[in-house]
Amino acid sequence: MNPGYAMLFEEVKLGPVMAPNRFYAVPHASGMTEANPRVRAAFRKTKAEGGWGVVSTGAVSTHPSSDDSPLPFARLWDENDIRSHALTTDAIHEHGSLAAIELWHGGAAVMNRTSRIPPYSPSGIPWQATHVGFMGQLRPRIMDKNDIKDVIQWQVDAAKRAQQAGFDIVYIYAGMGYLGYEFLLEEYNVRTDQYGGSVDNRTRFVRELIEATKDAVGETCAIALRISLEELRARKSEHYESQAHEVVSIMADLPDLWDVKMDSSPTDCGASRFKAEGSHEPVIDFVKKVTGKPVVGVGRFTSPDTMVSQIKRGILDFIGGARPSIADPFLPSKIKEGRELEIRECIGCNICISSWHDGVPIRCTQNPTVGEEWRKNWHPQIFEPAESDDQILIIGGGPAGLEAGLTAARRGYQVTIAERSSELGGRLNFEASLPGLNAWARIKDYRLYALKKMDNVSLYTESELSLENILELQHQRVVIATGARWTRALYSSLEIPLGALAGAEVYTPDDIAEGIIPQGKTLVYDFDNYYLGGVLAEHLAKLGSSVEYATPAGHASAWTIMTNEQPYVHQALYALGVAIHTQTLLTGFEQSSVSLANIFTGHTSAIDFNSVVLVGLRLPDNKLYDQNMDAKESVKSAGIKSVERIGDAIAAGALVHAVYSGHQYARNLDKANRTYLRDVPVVSNGPGLAI
């Protein structure tokens, strides 16, 4: 280990327990509820095995009045839940790490769609979400004194269950718009009793939660407070630098640990496109100056030098990791073993967050094994040995091809990767050069670094292979990873791609990637709805083009609401003077005039544009695969056992899909292709009341 990193592996005392090092896998959603207890336990276990000294759950409901369905959330309501969580604590303790549980009451920010209990809130003020997935029409109740006592008792009951389940650290949650936060913030809390008004009064509810939890389990469990400070830091205080300073000062020594964060998901988990490593520091940098208790915070930390700097400068005591601990559960071990160049660094794409919005177990672009540790027995560092001497020829060196090659090589197969262009990386070579996406180059950098050190790998560029070449090369397995191409298809009123837009000045992202810059005033028409349409509009505007953006959706890059990027996409386009047309169909382009129609009303308009860039339908490039299928007898005679497609060549998708596809291919080599193990809840008690 680099001796400069030794402080990252110092023990830190947290109340009655001792953390073995400064690496803290903070609470984050995983999409693994009580319906998937074994999936969840294996997921958290892998982090402990990888060296994270503390490993946390995501939000765990204390009572049915904190019901986030249909979004996935965990519970600790009864004996069944204790047994379910004990699977996780046992798995974490197996590797010497501490287990933390984020007890949580959602207050007015949950809709209680399943429990049908009116949401609890300090003053009856709802969270009026703009994300459809969070919207609901049941408004919250105003908590009376008995309600406050009930919520505190539910916290205590859950804390005792957490202790029974084996947790070492028990949280109180006062962040991200949930109930404790609602008491702290003036917009939510307009009470006139001892729980409202002054900052001191507004902290009372959180203080009572901490004190009651400490009284219940504090002799054996550390008590952590997770708190959002962004809004409070921006508000004036009569006697302190800000209300954040005042709140932390009032409760300075109550918890055993301060877990500090931002107020909303887009700022707390900002995508790398818009937020740099360590972006939280300007908001949370004061906390250690106010409290003598340890502090943990996050910032998408992947650099050990940055981690050491955070500790040396007195910003944090623990290096918190959510996304970095997903991308590489073995990040701490790699630093400890002097292998920091082998870290699979988080790219900040936030696909992990989108999977929670989708209500499914977590996914990661960099780490295709995440969520599959139990379901498919995929370990991020351990690979089953090859079961044959088959040589693997992979045609295409993009994300899917590189991942398939690396995984197959790690299993011991002889691997050849042939790429027709002058550089390995596929679509990443262009996309990582676009505004804000440079961190995405880590996908190819990590894989190429590993591949180039392996004796059983041959890498070739400028090698476009024909069917004849494939038949001559004497490989037993052929993998087609030739990617996909963007089309000029239009978007129809049926909300599907249809037809094509003709014209010399009609372009696709592939044209831009090849260096073509549209001339004159340009319209980027986007019904792909992910990042690329918005990024290309930024890119062209920064090159000096006059650009406007149109989409049939209600927002620019509409799907990026799932990855916390949508507010920043609009801000970026606005800053560059890019006009945005939403709910719009592009129906024609003739003589430098684009015909646009409202998707709902059919109202039409014509706007002058010299060029159009279509970002919509992408289809697999299957020419080479089809040739192989048409020559099955010749393929068989050449000793080729299989020809398979992976990544965009089989189904165009996001980078996460391409990497997963490549990984799955290599894991399944010479094996029966099963889907996955199906998890079931832990049930010892039969149906009955929730608590």
Read out DSSP for 80-128? Answer: HHHHHHHHHHHHHHTTT-EEEEEEE--GGG---TTT-PPPEESSS----
Grade residue 159 by pLDDT with cuts at 50, 70 and 90.
very high
Q: Which pLDDT score, from 0 to 100, does residue 686 have? A: 72
The mean pLDDT of 440-448, rounded to a whole number, is 98
Grade residue 473 by pLDDT with cuts at 50, 70 and 90.
very high
Query: What's the pLDDT tens digit per position in 646-690?
Result: 999 999 999 999 999 999 999 999 988 778 999 999 988 777 766
SS3 23: strand
Q: Which pLDDT score, from 0 to 100, does residue 38 have? A: 97
Q: Tell me how far apart the alpha carbons of residues 292 and 287 are, in angstroms, rounded to a whole number.
A: 9
Dihedral sign for Cα 136, 138, 143, 149, please. negative
Grade residue 373 by pLDDT with cuts at 50, 70 and 90.
very high
Q: Which domains does the chain have, with CATH numbers?
A: 3-348 (3.20.20.70), 391-483+622-667 (3.40.50.720), 486-619 (3.50.50.60)
Query: What's the pLDDT tens digit per position in 221-246?
Result: 999 999 999 999 999 999 999 999 99
Q: Which pLDDT score, from 0 to 100, does residue 590 have? A: 92
Q: Are 9 and 22 in contact (CB under 8 A)?
A: yes
Q: Which pLDDT score, from 0 to 100, does residue 375 have? A: 95
The mean pLDDT of 54-61, rounded to a whole number, is 98
Mean residue pLDDT across the chain: 96
Q: Which pLDDT score, from 0 to 100, does residue 135 have? A: 85
Q: Are 20 and 318 in contact (CB under 8 A)?
A: no
How far from chain centre, in Å, is Cα 620? 26
Q: Are 239 and 246 in contact (CB under 8 A)?
A: yes
Q: Are 481 and 404 in contact (CB under 8 A)?
A: yes
Residues serving a catalytic function are 178
Query: What's the pLDDT tens digit per position in 619-643?
Result: 999 999 999 999 999 999 999 999 9
Q: Tell me how far apart the alpha carbons of residues 12 and 423 are, in angstroms, rounded to a whole number.
A: 46
Instruction: List C-alpha distances in Å: 436 to 281, 439, 539.
Output: 20, 8, 10
**% the chain with pLDDT above 90:** 96
Closest to 179 in 3D by CA, of 205, 198, 153: 205
Q: Are 259 and 225 in contact (CB under 8 A)?
A: yes
Q: Which pLDDT score, from 0 to 100, does residue 675 have? A: 83
Query: What's the pLDDT tens digit per position in 555-579?
Result: 999 999 999 999 999 999 999 999 9
CA torsion 228→231→236→237, rounded to 10°? -20
Grade residue 691 by pLDDT with cuts at 50, 70 and 90.
low
b/e code 275-296 from CB counts within 10 Å (16+ = b) = bebbbbeebbbbbbebbebbbb
SS3 217: helix
Q: Which pLDDT score, from 0 to 100, does residue 673 have? A: 73
Query: What's the pLDDT tens digit per position in 114-157?
Result: 999 999 999 999 988 888 888 888 999 999 999 999 999 999 99
Parallel/antiparallel/unpaired status of strands 391-395 and 414-418: parallel
Q: Which pLDDT score, from 0 to 100, does residue 690 have? A: 63
Q: Tell me how far apart the alpha carbons of residues 426 and 590 are, in angstroms, rounded to a whole number.
A: 34
The mean pLDDT of 40-62, rounded to a whole number, is 98
Q: Where are the alpha helices (DSSP H) in 123-240?
A: 145-165, 179-184, 199-202, 204-217, 230-233
The mean pLDDT of 294-308, rounded to a whole number, is 98
Q: Which pLDDT score, from 0 to 100, does residue 645 have? A: 98
Q: Which pLDDT score, from 0 to 100, does residue 130 have? A: 84
Q: Which pLDDT score, from 0 to 100, does residue 591 have? A: 87
Is the pLDDT reported for residue 617 higher than 90?
yes
Residue 593 burial by Cβ neighbours in a 10 Å radius (0-12, 13-18, 19+): exposed
Query: What's the pLDDT tens digit per position in 492-535?
Result: 989 999 999 999 999 999 999 999 999 999 999 999 999 999 99
Half-sphere exposure for 614 (CA within 13 Å, toward CB): 27
SS3 446: helix
Residue 646 burial by Cβ neighbours in a 10 Å radius (0-12, 13-18, 19+): buried
Q: Where are the alpha helices (DSSP H) in 270-362?
A: 281-284, 287-290, 304-312, 323-327, 331-336, 351-358
Q: Which pLDDT score, from 0 to 100, does residue 96 have? A: 98
Is the pLDDT reported for residue 256 higher than 80?
yes
